[in-house]
Amino acid sequence: MTTSSPTRPTALVTGASSGLGEEMARLLAQRRIDLLLVARREDRLRALADELTAKYGIRAQVMALDLADPGAAAELARESEYRQLQIDFLINNAGFATYGDFADSDLGSQLDLLQVNITALTELTHRFLPGMLARGRGRVLNVASTAAFMPGPLMATYSASKAYVLSFSEALSEEVRGSGVYVTALCPGPVETGFQERANLQGSRLFSGPAQLTLLSAPEVARQGIEAMLRGDAVHVAGGLNKLQTLLPRLLPRSFMPRLIRGIQDTGNLPQGKKGRKA
Ligand SMILES: NC(=O)c1ccc[n+]([C@@H]2O[C@H](COP(=O)([O-])OP(=O)(O)OC[C@H]3O[C@@H](n4cnc5c(N)ncnc54)[C@H](OP(=O)(O)O)[C@@H]3O)[C@@H](O)[C@H]2O)c1
C-alpha cells in the first residue's frame, strides 16, 4: 500500500490531465509536494506523474475518474483513505463549458456540467476540509472564472456554475478564517487550453480581437493561482485587464450586462434558427 511521505505534504489536483491543472501539478511538484492526479484521461495523468516523479523525486499517483458520475467524489475520498494519503492541498480545478442557447442544448451535458463544476467540487471540499481544520493547516483552491462575475448568455449554466464557485469559496474563506486553513477562488479570464475546443468556442470574441489582450498562458495563470493559494488570498483574478473587466457589473446597468456578454461570446457559428431568440 502507498502512503504519503512523512515529510512532504500531498496535493489532490482534479483536471490534471491538461491545461491549468497540469500546470498547477508541475508547480506543486517543483515545491516538492506529493500529488494525487485526477481526470478521465489516465494515459495523460500517468505520463505527467512519471515525468514529475523522475524530475523532482516526489511521489505522484493517479486516479482515473469521471467527476460527472455522482459517486465519483465519494470514491476519490475512499481511495485516498485506502492509500493513506493525507490531503493538505485540494485543487478543485476540473471543469468544462458548453456553448449555445440553453433551450437547444442537450440536458444531459448541462447536468454533467453542474455535477463536475459544482457538485463534485462541493463534495470534495466537504470531504477534505474537516481533516485540514482538525490539523490546523491546509489549502483549498477552487478554480472559478471571470465569468463568475456576470451572467453569460450562450454559456448560461457555465457562468452560473462559476458564480457558485466564487460565492461558495468566498463564504468558506470567511468561515475558516483564523483556523490555519485558507480557501481561495482563482478567477482566470481567457486562457489557452483545451477548454475552448471542448466548448466549441473557436471564433468567439472571448479569445480573439481585442480580447487577445486579456489572454494569458496556462503556466502564467497556474503560477498566479498557486501563489494566491499559498498567500491565502480569498479571491484572485488573473491579469490586470481581467480585474478591470470584473468591475464592469458594478459600473454598468444590470440589464445591459447580458447583452454585452452575449455580443462577446457569440462565435457566429451557431446554426441558423438557433442564433438566439433575439440577439
Ligand atoms: N481556459 C479558459 O479560458 C478558462 C477560463 C476561466 C476558467 N477556466 C477553468 O479552468 C479550469 C481548467 O480548465 P482548462 O482551461 O485547463 O481546460 P482543459 O484543458 O479542458 O482542462 C479541463 C480539465 O478538467 C478535466 N475534466 C473535465 N471534465 C471532467 C470530468 N467529467 N471528470 C474528470 N475530469 C474532468 C479534464 O480532464 P479529462 O478530459 O481527462 O477528464 C481536464 O484535465 C476549469 O474549471 C475551467 O472552467 C478556464
**pLDDT: which is higher, 213 or 191:** 191
Residue 202 counted as domain residue? yes
Mean pLDDT of 224-238: 98
* pLDDT exceeds 80 at position 252: yes
Distance between CA atoms of 67 and 190, rounded to whole angstroms?
23
User: What nine digits make up the cell of 257?
Assistant: 450586462
Q: Which domain holds residue 189?
A: 10-265
271 lies in some domain: no
Residue at 277 is within a domain: no
Judge if the beta carbon of residue 18 lies within 6 A of ligand 1: yes
**Length of the chain in terms of residues written:** 279
Confidence of residue 271 (pLDDT cuts 50, 70, 90): low
Q: What is the CATH number of the domain that holds 127?
A: 3.40.50.720
Residue 279 located in a structural domain: no
Protein residue closest via CA to atom 34 of ligand 1: 39
Q: Residue 3: its pLDDT value, please?
A: 55
> CA-CA-CA-CA torsion for 194, 57, 32, 40, nearest 10 degrees?
30
The protein residue with its alpha carbon nearest to ligand 1, atom 41, reads: 40
How many distinct structural domains can be found in the chain?
Answer: 1
CA 179 to ligand 1 centroid distance, Å:
30
Partner residues linked to 62 by β-bridges? 37
Query: Which residue's CA is the closest to the ligand 1 atom numbered 8?
Result: 145
Give one DSSP letter per residue of 199-239, joined into a string: TT-TT-TTSSGGGGGG-EEHHHHHHHHHHHHHHT-SEEESS
Q: What is the distance, to the nearest Å, from the Cα of residue 67 to the centroid of all Cα atoms in its chain?
A: 13
66 touches ligand 1 (CB under 6 Å):
yes
Q: Is residue 276 part of a domain?
A: no
2 belongs to a structural domain? no
Our mutation pick for probing the ligand 1 site, out of 35, 40, 45, 113, counting the most ligand atoms within 8 A of Cβ, is 40
Q: What is the pLDDT of residues 171-184, one digit of tens each?
A: 999 999 999 999 99
Active-site annotation holder among 56, 99, 158, 164: 158
- The reply to whether 164 belongs to the active site is no
**How confident is the model at residue 6, as a pLDDT?**
62
Confidence of residue 4 (pLDDT cuts 50, 70, 90): low
